[in-house]
Amino acid sequence: MTYLLCAIDRRDSALEFAAGVLTVRAPEHKPWKVGARQLGLVVVHGHVAADAGVWRGLADAGVAVALTGGRNGQDVAWVAAGLSANGELRHRQHQVYADPYRRLVMARWVLDQKIAAIGTEMEADPALDVPDLRFSRYRAEKSVPLCHGIGALEGIEGALAAEWFGQLRARIDPAWGFTARNRRPPRDPCNALLSYGYALALADALTAVQRLGLDPALGFLHSLYPGRYALALDALECVRALVDRVAVQLLAPGRLTAKDFSNDPIRGCRLSKHARDELIREWNGVRRVPAVSVSGPVAACGQEVQLRSGALCLALAGVTDCPTTGPVRKPRTGH
């Protein structure tokens, strides 16, 4: 099943929720209705009227809501359901996290999915299939099964990401000012697109985590940290390259222009309504198709980011078997 992404950003829109149906009312437009079972994510930007019953109804239906805007323009807050009654599954997740050996297996697998996703993008775009990136990806792929600690995996991920963004920079017109990944706040149009795109993808992943009843704060590659959805971030890794592709496409000639962005010394680079609409439209298109070629239980999750994230989380929690990149060694102390 494909879940819809509903974006609401018309000024003075109003939301209603009753009998499992979300109704959107906007000035000078006919009311639009959609069943909660069809929704995967609702994105709300700007002034929208809604009472507590709307947010509660969507949360009870397992639909995540991303509230964008805020002080920095691109900040995102989430409204989602609490943990479900699936205590046994959640308990198993905590057991995996508490065992350094099993956590390492799962963390390796998360990084494997990111490496595979980059490989898929390289196959789809010959301009990215260059010797430096090919070597960095190969080195990361061969190093993952040799890592004995989370810190070592983070080092591999960081080195690969640096080379990846370096190659993306070569694909983007220098006039956009993109030199490297930066955030909080993003300082150029590309980073503004990446930050907003990652937030949308993370909301999809968070919805999958919540629907399964897993603890979103307890990840494997991403460590426990106050206020962070570590497990959703783990699930996000397999589709980050998909967001990167969308950002690069939107900065191609004939798409977005400098007028679609504004800069503030404190708030950083901000997207216009048109830029947000284009990003949401592009993301809604690519989130329905496979982003990585994986085996095992993940291959059965279909053509939608949210479902693939959910299957990934199931395996991460130790519910199903997951592929590994080689014999697992007991982790050493440190890196």
Q: What is the pLDDT of residues 74-129, one digit of tens each?
A: 567 777 666 555 677 788 888 888 999 889 988 998 898 889 889 888 888 888 88
Higher pLDDT, 325 or 202: 202
Q: Are residues 260 and 111 in the same domain?
A: yes
Q: Are residues 283 and 154 in the same domain?
A: yes
Q: Are residues 148 and 166 in the same domain?
A: yes
Q: Are residues 278 and 134 in the same domain?
A: yes
Decide if 115 is inside a domain: yes
Q: Are residues 145 and 280 in the same domain?
A: yes
Residue 327 confidence class, pLDDT cut points 50, 70, 90: very low
Q: Are residues 60 and 115 in the same domain?
A: no
Mean pLDDT of 47-70: 82
Residue 315 confidence class, pLDDT cut points 50, 70, 90: low
The CATH number of residue 190's host domain is: 1.20.120.920
Model pLDDT, residue 248: 92
Residue 164 confidence class, pLDDT cut points 50, 70, 90: very high
Q: Is the confidence at residue 217, as pLDDT, over 80?
A: yes
Q: Last residue of some domain: 59, 79, 99?
A: 79
Assess contact for 12 and 26: CB atoms under 8 A.
Answer: yes
Which residues span the domain enclosing 149?
87-316
Q: Are residues 42 and 119 in the same domain?
A: no
Q: Are residues 49 and 192 in the same domain?
A: no
How many domains does one find in the chain? Answer: 2
What does the block give as tokens for 217? 């704060």
Model pLDDT, residue 288: 60
Q: Are residues 273 and 169 in the same domain?
A: yes
* 87 alpha-carbon distance from chain centroid: 25
Residue 190 confidence class, pLDDT cut points 50, 70, 90: very high
Decide if 186 is inside a domain: yes
For residue range 233-284, list pLDDT tens digits in order.
Answer: 988 888 888 899 999 999 999 999 999 999 888 888 998 889 998 998 888 8
Q: Is the confidence at residue 305, as pLDDT, over 60?
A: no
Decide if 148 is inside a domain: yes
Decide if 330 is inside a domain: no
Decide if 334 is inside a domain: no
Q: Are residues 240 and 205 in the same domain?
A: yes
Closest CA to 120 of 133, 105, 102, 109: 133
Q: Last residue of some domain: 79, 100, 133?
A: 79
Higher pLDDT, 154 or 85: 154
Q: Are residues 8 and 30 in the same domain?
A: yes
Q: Last residue of some domain: 79, 104, 128?
A: 79
Which residue is it, tokens 């950002």? 247
The CATH number of residue 11's host domain is: 3.100.10.20
Residue 191 confidence class, pLDDT cut points 50, 70, 90: very high
Average pLDDT across the chain, whole number: 79
Decide if 328 is inside a domain: no
Q: Is the confidence at residue 62, as pLDDT, over 80?
A: no
Higher pLDDT, 6 or 333: 6
Q: Where are the alpha helices (DSSP H) in the chain?
A: 52-60, 87-98, 100-124, 131-143, 150-171, 189-212, 230-236, 240-250, 273-286, 305-316
Q: Look up the pTM and report it.
A: 0.76
Closest CA to 310 of 238, 240, 224: 238
Model pLDDT, residue 313: 53
Decide if 323 is inside a domain: no
Q: Are residues 122 and 91 in the same domain?
A: yes
